[in-house]
Structure 1
Amino acid sequence: MAELTWFAWTLLGVAALIVGLSKTAVPGSNTIAVAIFAAILPARESTGTLLLLLIVADVFAVLTYRRHTNWRALLRLAPAVVVGILVGVLFLAVANDEWVKRTIGVLLLAVIAITLLRRRMRAPVDDAGPHRVAAATYGALGGFTTMVANAAGPVMSMYFLASRFPVKEFLGTAAWFFAIVNLAKLPFSIGLGLITVPGLLIDLVLVPLVVVGALFGRRLAGRLNQVLFERLVITFTIVGAIYLLV
């Protein structure tokens, strides 16, 4: 912690606010926080440090939208998500810090591409066949990206949008999805050494900002110029991903 400059702390504080905001107002925008954490902290440690902040924010999301959840959709996703998480665990077990950092950069660019692609998607996932294929594809990709980079927001948003969920059902289903998945990732993150004492100390400093971001997001939801905000999210995330790759 003593090695972090005031500018680094400022960026981490902004990232913590975004984490809270992403859970209650703008799902998927935490890709900015992923880029900031991976740029400032050792890449492997950054995933564990950020995970604990995400779990704190998940509490607010679940409390806010707990009554609007499509449990059938979550059960459909579960097998593929488990597979994706396990593949992510195997990757983290063998990859060094540089590989993790570059992989996070690639995944961020990938989820940006998915975010842009979802805007062009119009066909809903209506019948059983497409539901199974979509659940397997996005579930596995979501499980891997969330384990390696905490960056599954845009991936799963695409699936929920394709399923044509109403707004509150979308937010409620996403809230429970990430709450369950992030808690499931916790033992693996501890076992892989991603959660460290310095990371816990950083989290203690940043948790209040996560709470502020989550509460602000609850007030902001429904009043936000979504198009402008998504453009800013995409722009800053591209910059962060390129920084990680370079």
Structure 2
Amino acid sequence: MNALLLDPWFYAAALPAVFLVGLSKGGFGGAVGFVGVPLMALVMPPVQAAAILLPILVLMDMVSLWTWRGVFDKQTLFYMMPGALIGIGIGWLTAAVVTADMVRFIVGAVAIVFVSRWAWQQFRLGAEYSAAPNRVVGGFWGTVSGFTSFVAHVGGPPFQVYTLPLKLDPKVLSGTAAIFFAITNAVKLIPYFALGQFDTTNLTASAALMPLAPLSTLAGAWLVRRMRPELFYPFTYATVALIAVKLIWDGGAQLLQP
């Protein structure tokens, strides 16, 4: 019997983690999704937490793709997807060097700058300001998203750094994110398998948590469909800011330890 499945602390951390990730996959507050690994890392090594979550993420992606089918921005995917694949490759090549704590700290710092920039633009240019699509910028943030997604499943903030200023309709943004991360997570299965992360213990734990995946994803989609854009975007930026502070705190504390 898998000892992990007999540990009540595993469920105390994993169940809320999977639920929050599912809400994110459904499109509700995309940034909350990357609390999954940090939450589960309270009771297990971060690498193991990421390996257990990945098959669950793939199932959530399938539900999200069905939920938001036919609603996406083709240009955003065209600009960002090649970079994401490059970022996954970089993550694979540097897996032995780059730690999850480094990534948490860097992503948190980038997200804080991103939210601060948005707040300044709202103050100077007004709430109606939106950025224009840009192939180079989209490719860069796609690469960063692919890399951070591979290392610690925290691809959401870099993805949002590019997409949120575009001011897409919330449903279109959710559908675009569903396709982007479905492809990203499917590709990640290959290097995770090659690195030996899918052993019996981790896959059994993934299977035990699977039933919560579709329910939480559909709940997130239900909320997005009922949220107006003028509420959706401030909420999402606020969520990014809160999680960024958490990432900086967790990553920085670990990096400063002797």
TM-score by length of 2: 0.81
Take 1:197 and 1:84, find their aligned partners in 2: how far apart are those partners? 28
The corresponding residue for 2:22 is: 20
Contact 1:107 1:151 in 2 (8 A): no
C-alpha change, 1:54 and 1:132, in structure 2 (3 Å) is same
The corresponding residue for 1:242 is: 249
Give ranges in structure 2 of 5+ residues lacking alignment.
123-128
Find 1:126's aligned residue among 123, 132, 154: 132
C-alpha change, 1:208 and 1:77, in structure 2 (3 Å) is same
Which segment drifts farther, 74-83 or 214-223?
214-223
The corresponding residue for 2:3 is: 2
The corresponding residue for 1:102 is: 101
Please say if 1:192 is aligned against 2:195. yes
- TM-superposed deviation, 1:43: 2.0
CA displacement 1:156-182 (0-9 Å, x = unmatched): 122112233222211111110000111
Take 2:135 and 2:215, find their aligned partners in 1: how far apart are those partners? 38
Secondary structure of 1:221's match?
helix
Find 1:168's aligned residue among 145, 168, 171: 171
Which segment drifts farther, 106-115 or 136-145?
106-115
Which segment drifts farther, 112-121 or 170-179?
112-121
C-alpha change, 1:144 and 1:238, in structure 2 (3 Å) is same
Contact 2:79 2:138 in 1 (8 A): yes
Secondary structure of 1:195's match?
coil
Contact 1:47 1:149 in 2 (8 A): yes
The corresponding residue for 1:79 is: 82
CA displacement 1:65-118 (0-9 Å, x = unmatched): 1111122321222322222111110111x23xxx62422432452354255246
C-alpha change, 1:107 and 1:195, in structure 2 (3 Å) is farther
Query: Please, what is the CA RMSD of the aligned residues?
Result: 2.6
The corresponding residue for 2:161 is: 158
The corresponding residue for 1:54 is: 57
Contact 2:65 2:175 in 1 (8 A): yes
Letter in 2 for 1:78: M
C-alpha change, 1:203 and 1:149, in structure 2 (3 Å) is same
CA displacement 1:128-157 (0-9 Å, x = unmatched): xxx122112201111111111110112112
Number of residue equivalences: 239
Contact 2:31 2:239 in 1 (8 A): no
C-alpha change, 1:182 and 1:238, in structure 2 (3 Å) is same
C-alpha change, 1:223 and 1:79, in structure 2 (3 Å) is closer
- TM-superposed deviation, 1:49: 1.5
Find 1:206's aligned residue among 205, 209, 213: 209
C-alpha change, 1:53 and 1:108, in structure 2 (3 Å) is farther
Q: Sequence identity, in percent?
A: 26
Letter in 2 for 1:242: W
Give ranges in structure 1 of 5+ residues lacking alignment.
none
Take 2:76 and 2:211, find their aligned partners in 1: how far apart are those partners? 32
Letter in 2 for 1:180: I
Take 2:105 and 2:210, find their aligned partners in 1: how far apart are those partners? 28
The corresponding residue for 2:13 is: 11
